[in-house]
A = this chain, B = another copy of it.
């Protein structure tokens, strides 16, 4: 059975303006590979309700899982929860269970809940909360969309809460061979190898180091014995 598929949606003007370098996509991509969920597509859009709604709908229809990052805080530009509710035509309001989590948290800290903080308790009808041990305000899953925070520490904590509840397939295995020759010399034999091992994904990732060209050849698949066999043939063709 093929592995379940997934997409990531990163939401936020701060990423598109070049101000902030996204870290969450790279982190989650690695985690998904380990649990056997195949990441097929990533999109990044701005804090714009039409863009978020249409992208959530498109990705939700196409992949088994969609993970969103960003836009669930208390400020005016945090519109993700409302957009995801709109994407599935669900009612959204402050929900009692989420509100109780936040009230207990602010009471413990000697602080108070206010209108802005209550925004973080807005949860679409029928959603399941995702635990946030870092800053309490929860994420949520609705249908196949998992709504996570944008702050990297909180994002990671929510991924840790969520991933064990999703059933993945076989973890993706990979082996890499570094070849200190330009891709132009490698490409011919490599294409033949790829054609014979068409159950594996064989990629060539060129680099330039100290003015010299080389490539990392990465062989990926779910069957480690097959990867070993292909890698042995490759290493024989390109002795280092």
Contacts and interface: CB of A to CB of B under 8 A. Distances in A.
- Max chain B CB contacts within 10 Å: which of A44, A74, A75, A78? A75
A14 B202 CA distance: 10
Count the copies.
Answer: 2
A100 interface: no
A114 interface: yes
B29 A18 contact: yes
Given A40-B46, A47-B203, A135 B75 contact: no
A contacts with B: majority SS: mixed
Interface residues of A, number: 75
Contacts of A184: 74, 106, 111, 113-114, 116-117, 120
Interface in A76-99: 76-78
Given A76-B204, A151-B207, 5 more contacts: A73-B206, A74-B184, A78-B204, A116-B185, A119-B187
Interface of A: 10, 12-22, 25-26, 28-33, 39-47, 51, 73-78, 106, 111, 113-117, 119-120, 134-135, 151, 153-154, 172, 174, 182-188, 190-191, 194-195, 201-208, 213, 215, 218, 220
